[in-house]
Structure 1
Amino acid sequence: MTNVEVSLKTLLTEVEGALGAAVVDYTSGMALGTLGGGKELDLNVAAAGNTDVIRAKMRTMETLGLKAEIEDILITLGTQYHLIRPVSGRTGNGLFIYLVIDKGRSNLAMARHHLKRVEEQLEV
């Protein structure tokens, strides 16, 4: 099991083209930790905004009566992929990992694989 800081460092070093990552509490919208980003990618603002995305999807699934859990949510921009992965397990309830990768330098399938592995090992 790994903590938030180690998990974020793992994502930024192992995912080619990673631009930033955060672990976020979607009940409050607050980031528990961020790494990367910069003036053009404010991860705290992104954390709060993506909280709305995950809440909306969960409400929609509930309204539709869908019992499956969200594996991840992908948002495709012109030059970036934004991945949102809810943390499963008893220690991660109410959390998600947010990862931003460069579309031209990254392999989306590998990024999702790394994100899943980090999510499974995260302990808060």
Structure 2
Amino acid sequence: MATQDELNQLIDDIAHDINGFIGASIVDLESGLPITSSSTRADFDLDVASAFNAEIVKNKNRTIEALGLDAHLEDMLLTLDTQLHLLKLIDGGMFLYIAADRQATNLAMLRSSVNRHVTALAA
């Protein structure tokens, strides 16, 4: 299990990499509560976003189970007309939620940064 400092650093590193970074949180999947979070916008409520995104992840896991798939959820991408939202599962019952401005962000760079930093966290 990663330490609080390592989780804080994960978000800081991704925020530094991504143009158009809006906010991110590491979320406890069971409770929906953010373990750590950071936002560049005061009006972007990461507590609310974390709770609702936890429900999305739980529902997708239930869907996978209901379909009898022998698979594990890795990540989910939600595209809005103005934003990209990425949910990346992390070992230990947590996930990373990140939001970025769609006009300023390259999806490939967003995914690359998230995957690189999450992999480094697990190492």
TM surpasses 0.5: yes
1:67-89 CA deviation, whole Å, 9 max, x = no partner?
222221011111000100001xx
Paired position in structure 1 for 2:105:
106
2 CA distance for matches of 1:15 and 1:65? 36
Structure 1 unaligned residues grouped into runs of 5+: none
Counterpart residue number, 1:76: 79
1:20 equivalenced with 2:23 (yes/no): yes
Aligned pairs, how many? 119
State the Cα deviation string for residues 78-108 of structure 1 (Å, max 9, x = none).
1000100001xxxx32100001010000000
| Displacement of 1:37 | 4.5
Shift of the alpha carbon at 1:66?
Answer: 1.2
Coordinate RMSD, CA, aligned = 1.5
TM-score, structure 1 normalization: 0.89
Q: Which residue of 1 aligns with 2:118?
A: 119
Distance 1:50 1:37, change over 3 A: farther
Task: Tell me the TM-score normalized by structure 2.
Answer: 0.90
Q: Distance in 2 between matches of 1:100 and 1:6?
A: 17
Give structure 2 stretches of 5+ with no counterpart: none
Partner of 1:35: 38
List structure 1 segments (4+ residues) > 3 angstroms apart after TM superposition. none
Separation in 2 of the partners of 1:95 and 1:35? 16
Q: CA deviation at 1:14?
A: 0.5
Give the corresponding residue for 1:86.
89
> Identity over the aligned pairs, expressed in percent?
34
Contact 2:21 2:40 in 1 (8 A): no
